[in-house]
Structure 1
Amino acid sequence: MNRRLAAALTTGAAALATVASIVPAHAIEYKSDTCEYGDKSYCFAIFYNSTNAGGVSTSPCYLSSMSIDDHYGVNSPNGNIITLYQFGYSGQWIRSNLGGSHCENAPGSGQALKNNAASVVNGDAWASYTVFYNSNFNGTAQTFSPNSGGNLISKLHNNNASHRRNG
């Protein structure tokens, strides 16, 4: 009887090990661009650093053309890929009525988007964007009209958690 129990336990352990080896680990993907426009100069850009005296931003940035309900990131529908949003370098110019802002490779590249933003430039000619203190579009907010930009208010400076495209 002990031999049958030992054989059953061994078989069960082998089956469990096989199943465990089939289940994939979570992959982590880093994104600094969720802008779907062909011409990236029309994107909403969130910058790591504040604007200069002329209102132009030149630092690592995050590009978007959509609402993002959590600046930390998102899980894929099947849960196997975790996308983390971060500041990056694209070499991209962003249009605004303040002049051209530029995403540059500088300190801040690779830093998390959530709670690290200082300024924005809205190159989107069709919609305003609102930056929020909390995830899911809640809390203190600041709205940027089309083709505008500037520094985030003190309550949002390095306290950004989501943004919404209005339009």
Structure 2
Amino acid sequence: MEQLATFGAGCFWGVEALFAEQQGVTSTTVGYMGGHTPRVTYNDICQGDTGHAEVVQICFNDSVITYSQLLQLFWQNHNPTTPNQQGPDFGTQYRSVVFYHDQSQQQQAVEMRQTLNNMGLFKAPVITIIEAANQYHLAEDYHQQYLLKRGKASCSL
């Protein structure tokens, strides 16, 4: 069955590339979620006052890849212990966040975050925000499949 997942883990270009290559992921788009303004652009979120995060929205076939597997990839491929920072990128738009689409996703995310903290896999507590998905704003076309369009597998730092 086709489902939706939405994650914020820093700059959305690399996050999208990671999820797009997974078997069972049928499509990905990048955009903005979690803010308080009804309309938003990339330039707006770069100002840091709209409250939006850069996110990747993932359509996936849960008979091929589960939401739990997507969560594991999410936490393994960014630093979920830093507020509003991933690598060289700073600002609320780069926060670590899971936007859940139903109660099952919420429960899985909360339980997995707790398990990660209990296991002590990170040098600091996992502070990933887990909140209900709200209005998704599709990012400008030039951001979609940004790395793929440029023949790159990842962002260079």
Q: Mark yes or no: TM-score above 0.5.
A: no
If the TM-score is normalised by the length of the shorter chain, which range does it land in?
Answer: under 0.3
Q: Which has the higher helix share?
A: 2
TM-score, reference length from structure 2: 0.27
TM-score, reference length from structure 1: 0.25
Higher RCO structure, 1 or 2 (CA under 8 Å, sep 6+) = 2
Structure number with greater Rg is 1
Q: Which has the higher strand share?
A: 1
